Amino acid sequence: MQTGATMEWRKFWTLPIAAALGNSSTVLHVYSMSAFMQPLEETFGWTRAQISLGMPFASTVSSLMGIFVGILIDRIGPRPVGLTGILIICSAFALLGTASGGLANWFMLWCLLGVGGAWVKPTIWTSAVASRFDASRGLAIAIVVSGAGVAATIIPPLTTWSIGEFGWRQAFFLMGGLWALVVFPLLFFFFRGAQDVRKKASSEKRKPAGDAMAGLTFKQGIRSPAFYKLGIAGGLFAFAVIGLIMHFIPILQGMGVSRMGAAGIAGLVGISSVIGRLGTGFLLDRFQPHRIAMIAFLLPVVSALLLLNSSGTMALSAAALIVGLSLGSELDVVLYLSTRHLGLKRFGVLFALMLIFLAIGNAIGPVYAGAIYDHFGNYTWFLWTIIPFVIVGAALMGSLGPAPDHGEPQEAAS
């Protein structure tokens, strides 16, 4: 096992790092919007629920188009999809700075962001890495999803500073342009999965790239109980945690924390999410994955209770660190368990369908949190709602048994 893992890292160590940078673009709008809430509210007179309504539009478009992109991944490989996606998502995010003040215009801009989101889903980055790593797949996937954690550490304070220095419109342009400038060149040189190499070398030009990989067919996948357990659990978790993250700075400000102080505490989510992802990846390669997943899904209960019962800096920082640990673990375990239970043959389209469950949670959670604030003037009832949602998700994860054997993975081309 160790020898196989060592050989995988020796041959393909640059791939997870490049994929992690690509994956960082998936959360650019999630971790930045908390800082944009107050400026948009002051500029246009929108409520926080109205501002958050952009997320459902983006999630809906991203989910529907994501199915097409998933099929494309299985057919042509992840590399061309990922390279295209980075340019689209960064451009769409920058365009949010052109908001005119009309809600229809705001929602249309978020629909464009949803188009970009479909082209940078974790499926793209994970499918390439999983095709190269088997013995050390848990850690490799953990590094990929850690890209979002690193972004979560950088985005809140950088966005808050950009808004303070240049205004919120310019901040959208700055963040979108910066991400494209850093990420695209590194992906161009280092992001290439086994599917991409096989497709390029194959004389059978019409054969889908995914056919060379082991796993379930499309029909087998959508009939698998694991598909629905993973999807529903992920959706419940996304409702709770994405809603919490998008309103984290306003929640802290409501407790008397300054704007920059709240941004600094929110940045701890990113730091701990990286630790959670790497730690979870290490554990997934060594222990029963569904048990690790169950524990990870229960962590937001602790954060919610801290935010409900404490207002000191230490307690609020602990809440941020714990929600970061759980956030880091969640996507890691869902991706890892999906590659094990469903395999890689049709991973692109199957995981794209599974992401619909997560997209529903992503869409409803922030809007529900904003509506609770608009009605009650605080987030107390939203925090109480988090607890049963994540408990049910943890129970579903715990009910997963050992993954089936899809056969020996084929040796990746060099």
Per-residue model confidence (pLDDT) at position 85:
92
CATH code of the domain in which 320 resides: 1.20.1250.20
Per-residue model confidence (pLDDT) at position 414:
34
Per-residue model confidence (pLDDT) at position 15:
93
Tell me the pLDDT tens digit for each residue of 280-336.
Answer: 878 887 788 888 888 888 988 998 898 888 777 888 888 888 888 887 677 778 888
Q: Based on the structure, what is the number of domains in the chain?
A: 1
Task: Decide if 99 contacts 45 (C-beta within 8 A).
Answer: no
For the ranges 79-93, 100-114, 148-162, 397-411, which has the lowest average pLDDT? 397-411
| 3-class DSSP assignment, residue 343 | strand
pTM of the complete model beyond 0.85: no
Per-residue model confidence (pLDDT) at position 3:
53
Q: How far apart are CA 130 and CA 303, in angstroms?
A: 32
Task: Decide if 413 contacts 199 (C-beta within 8 A).
Answer: no
Q: How far apart are CA 94 and CA 104, in angstroms?
A: 18
Q: Is residue 348 part of a domain?
A: yes
Neighbours of 256 (CB within 10 A): 9
Q: Is residue 2 part of a domain?
A: no
Q: How confident is the model at residue 174 (pLDDT cuts 50, 70, 90)?
A: very high
> What percentage of the chain carries pLDDT values higher than 90?
22
Q: Is residue 336 part of a domain?
A: yes
Tell me the pLDDT tens digit for each residue of 29-40.
Answer: 888 888 898 899
- Look at residues 199, 223, 227, 200 and name the one whose alpha carbon lies nearest to residue 213: 199
| 3-class DSSP assignment, residue 113 | helix
Q: Is residue 407 part of a domain?
A: no
DSSP output for 297-333: HHHHHHHHHHHHH--SHHHHHHHHHHHHHHHHHHHHH
Q: Is residue 403 part of a domain?
A: no
Q: How confident is the model at residue 354 (pLDDT cuts 50, 70, 90)?
A: confident
Higher local confidence (pLDDT), 258 or 143: 143
Tell me the pLDDT tens digit for each residue of 363-379.
Answer: 788 888 888 888 888 88
Q: Is residue 408 part of a domain?
A: no
Task: Decide if 284 contacts 138 (C-beta within 8 A).
Answer: yes
Q: Is residue 129 part of a domain?
A: yes
Q: How confident is the model at residue 169 (pLDDT cuts 50, 70, 90)?
A: very high
Q: How confident is the model at residue 47 (pLDDT cuts 50, 70, 90)?
A: confident
Per-residue model confidence (pLDDT) at position 328:
66
For the chain, what is the mean pLDDT? 83
Range of the domain at 40: 13-398
Per-residue model confidence (pLDDT) at position 407:
58
Per-residue model confidence (pLDDT) at position 1:
42
- Look at residues 346, 389, 362, 63 and name the one whose alpha carbon lies nearest to residue 224: 346
Contacts of 150 (CB under 8 A, 6+ apart): 20, 24, 270, 274
